[in-house]
Structure 1
Amino acid sequence: MEKKSEINGHAVPGSDSTERMVEKSARERGAGARLLGCLRRNLLVILTVSGVLVGVGLGMLVRGAGLSRAQKTYFAFPGEMLLRMLKMIILPLVVCSLVSGAASLDTRSLGKLGGIAVAYFLVTTLIASGIGVALAFIIQPGVGAGALNTNSLGLERVSSDKETADSFLDLARYVSLFLSSMLQYATGYKMVPVGNLTNGTALYEKVPVGTEAEGMNILGLVLFAMVFGVALRKLGDEGEELIRFFNAFNEATMVLVSWIMWYIPFGIMFLVGSKIVEMEDVVLLVTSLGKYIFASILGHVIHGGIVLPLIYFGFTRKNPFSFLSGLITPFTTAFATCSSSATLPSMIKCVEENNGVDKRISRFILPIGATVNMDGAAIFQCIAAVFIAQLNNTELNAGQIFTILVTATASSVGAAGIPAGGIITIAIILEAIGLPTNDLSLMLAVDWIVDRTTTVVNVEGDALGAGILHHINQQELKKQQQQQEGGGELAEVRVEAAANTEAEEESSPLVTHQTKALEAMPEAIESVL
């Protein structure tokens, strides 16, 4: 049959070429619309990555301008503002999310969830420490570098005379919300006379004295928020209003996070650019410490690119790289800021929105992970310890190697989620195996290079841990639903975090409600870990 079409209301013979042109035009418009939609969805990611690239170019350009110290400070100001905004949001984010998360779970669920998370963090950190030690003995970055010292590179010495025991005790001394938000406990020492020798020489004893150093004690905040959330849970109906307050505070904080994230590309550009401008003789440092830098970055690539994805795949049987592709913005932020804590706001937002992780999982686990899970730090700390041993021509025995593994795993818990936070914990490892801390300044000289991949691996481990816990929770939920479906008519059950099916604006998913299972939506069932 002859094809017909209408032009201005008149029927005319149809043209195949005309129809093909129309179809082609429609396909082109559809492809253009899809491309535009993809660009719109990933605009923040594109801008963030572009910010890093532009920052490198801008830094190289400005580096040749011979800026004064004051001018360098002004140049770095937009990047400094980004760090300050991210740090500003950490306190309400950590406290409110953990209080809400702990209050939404009963004690048994909280224990199981926390137990799985701690086991994951411990195992991955131990594996990371093992990778670090193995690479250090294979690559041997300190062998033949005995002539390398801080004087030849013009570096200042890093003083670290803190005892190992005091370093660990300081972690547990502050659990106060208000003090932890401003100060952290730091042990100092004073020499106290205790008597005289027979020749009249005075004897002195070094006594630890408590001091307070400026800086947020994230570990103290985490402990306080978890305990306070459990206490609100125990109050029952009396604590519900306060739980609502923390839920609302938490949601408002996430709105602030979404606003800050649009400033990240601009701030990152100046963070990266200012770091390049501040570099002294980077060629000398990289050539002198090249093997140490290479070993550290290689360890991060192996752990972050192979080990952690394999662990995620082993638990979920899902593609780990598709999961990680939704986290490019927080990874870029981690690379630029070198701070796990500063990356926490954008990580929570992207994990929930891009990967669909349950809010109860992400807002409970990620703040803890940002504090205690430091896989990247464990790798470079172990490599640094072996590097300094080789630098001093010290043969490490099996007991010392085991001590490095255990101490690096334990001390990474207390490593501050800030730039260069892991350097001080290296001193703990060196003290534990009896090595001098004089060469720590060598680590500090190139820490700005190594710390970038360190932070990326740290936050990657946190994100994949949240994904694993979310998967385990979903599997348990399916089992529970199957048991309920097979059990006939259900009795009234307690739903810990019922989704609000009546008035979403009046309630929160984290507030405890009494409901009947037949009235609740399937996705309204609480975490069953």
Structure 2
Amino acid sequence: MGLKKDLLLVLTIESVVLGVVLGFVIRPFNPSNDTISLIGFPGEIFMQIVEMMILPLIISSVISALAQVRARDARQIGIVTVIYYMTTTFLSTNMFPENIIQATFQQVQTYYVPIRPKLHRQNGTVVNVSEVVFHKPQLTYTNEMNVLGLIVFCSGFGVILSILGDQARLMINFFIVLDAIIMRWISALMWCYPIGILSLVCKNIVDIDNLTETAQALAMYVVTVICGLMIHSLLTLPLLYFIVTRKSPFAYMTGMLQALATAFGTASSGATLPVTFRALEENLKIDRRVTRFVLPLGATITMDGTALYEAVAVIFIAQLHNVKLTLLELLTIRLASFQDGTALYEAVAVIFIAQLHNVKLTLLELLTIR
């Protein structure tokens, strides 16, 4: 078993490295769009298979985990988890979906509709003409799974099963067996990860237009983002782990190597979720009742790296367009990126667009546009 885990870890890391190498080898030949699509085809199939497993994985894991713990323990786990995630992100309106079936394939998203001022005529003369374009926030549904809403529903479902106890034993056993089936299926799919990651990494590198010029133009931006991510991942989070547990964070990170490599190759928290389950439960021996509740929630509502690079991106683009940002505007961008904890709504990008059009958003509006 140990040999298999080590082999899979080595293959995952090698697939990332080999994907980068092959990407740079193929680039000079200027492959056609069809060729690039064929290179990324295994990766696309891989991502579709993984995404297919996310819904049953979340439902079975969250319900089975909370149904097997006492209601008091479930409440304690929930409180600690929410407090931790609330330190890095705000929750969104998608916590409570109005239709649980619809939540499996759609979620609410805020977008801005440009509204141009009307022209007023007086005695045949146009008056009150303004070049300012206002943006009105509107809610719409996007074709993406509302994972957060599903987690909230499944959490309540699991806690109630735990309270019912023997009365709900048949239903509890059903979700326990369903969870075991899904994890066995995912264990078999793990061996497809190296092929999918290699394909995705290679395709992304080949598909970049004018790599040298792009790298030169974005050099400082890339360096800034990477430095921020390194500080956050190698200093802030390990320090927080050490303060809470009084244990070495580097031993913990060693057990997470395969999950880290998968996250780098796929750039998807959902695709990495099954690997993270396995790493925590098999390598680090963490109670599965904790991982099955904490991980799906964390993969949905906490995206520290997203908040970091979005804030840097807005400031970088503002500098390119010679837009002078005041201290208050910088703090506003930081606050918006702080609350942008899900991939549901690009708050920072909208704020920057609003700044370009001289639209001033109040602090209350920033907190309620979700």
Q: Same fold (TM over 0.5)?
A: yes
More helix by share: 2
- Give the aligned partner of residue 45 of structure 2: 81
- Give the aligned partner of residue 70 of structure 1: 34
2:71, 2:163 within 8 Å by CA — same for their partners in 1? no
- Listed as ranges, the matches of 1:399-418 within 5 Å are 399-412=328-341, 414-415=342-343
Q: Which amino acid aligns with 2:216?
A: T
SS class of match (1:42) = helix
After superposition, the C-alpha distances for 1:193-217 in whole angstroms (9 at most, x for unaligned) are: 999956498x999876653321212
- Give the aligned partner of residue 262 of structure 1: 191
Matched, 1:430 2:359: no
Q: Which amino acid aligns with 2:356?
A: P
Whole-Å separation in 2 of the counterparts to 1:437 and 1:80: 38
Q: How many residues align?
A: 352
With normalisation by structure 2, the TM-score equals 0.84
Matched, 1:359 2:359: no
Whole-Å separation in 1 of the counterparts to 2:315 and 2:138: 31
Q: Which amino acid aligns with 2:349?
A: A
Whole-Å separation in 2 of the counterparts to 1:261 and 1:284: 37
After superposition, the C-alpha distances for 1:317-344 in whole angstroms (9 at most, x for unaligned) are: 2111111111111111100110111100
Q: Which amino acid aligns with 1:174?
A: P
Matched, 1:104 2:71: no
Whole-Å separation in 2 of the counterparts to 1:279 and 1:267: 19
- Give the aligned partner of residue 91 of structure 1: 55
Whole-Å separation in 2 of the counterparts to 1:41 and 1:402: 45
After superposition, the C-alpha distances for 1:140-179 in whole angstroms (9 at most, x for unaligned) are: xxxxxxxxxxxxxxxxxxxxxxxxxxx955x356354321
1:125, 1:409 within 8 Å by CA — same for their partners in 2? yes
Query: Are residues 230 and 294 of structure 1, via their aligned partners in 2, closer, same or farther at CA, if it must alter by over 3 Å?
Result: same
Match of 2:6 among 42, 51, 55: 42
Deviation for aligned residue 1:230: 2.5
Query: Are residues 102 and 38 of structure 1, via their aligned partners in 2, closer, same or farther at CA, if it must alter by over 3 Å?
Result: closer
Q: Which amino acid aligns with 1:179?
A: Q
With normalisation by structure 1, the TM-score equals 0.60
After superposition, the C-alpha distances for 1:59-83 in whole angstroms (9 at most, x for unaligned) are: 2233233322122212211111111
1:271, 1:336 within 8 Å by CA — same for their partners in 2? yes
Matched, 1:250 2:176: no
After superposition, the C-alpha distances for 1:38-96 in whole angstroms (9 at most, x for unaligned) are: 75541111111111122122222332333221222122111111111111111011111
Q: Which amino acid aligns with 1:371?
A: T
Q: Which amino acid aligns with 1:415?
A: A
- Give the aligned partner of residue 362 of structure 2: none
Matched, 1:56 2:20: yes
Query: Are residues 208 and 122 of structure 1, via their aligned partners in 2, closer, same or farther at CA, if it must alter by over 3 Å?
Result: closer
- Give the aligned partner of residue 186 of structure 1: 109
Whole-Å separation in 1 of the counterparts to 2:72 and 2:7: 42
Structure 1, 97-106 or 335-344: larger mean CA deviation: 97-106
After superposition, the C-alpha distances for 1:464-484 in whole angstroms (9 at most, x for unaligned) are: xxxxxxxxxxxxxxxxxxxxx
1:427, 1:437 within 8 Å by CA — same for their partners in 2? no
Whole-Å separation in 1 of the counterparts to 2:117 and 2:155: 44
1:411, 1:428 within 8 Å by CA — same for their partners in 2? no
Whole-Å separation in 1 of the counterparts to 2:92 and 2:241: 31
Q: Which amino acid aligns with 1:109?
A: D
SS class of match (2:356) = coil
1:389, 1:435 within 8 Å by CA — same for their partners in 2? no
Q: Which amino acid aligns with 1:277?
A: V
SS class of match (2:54) = helix
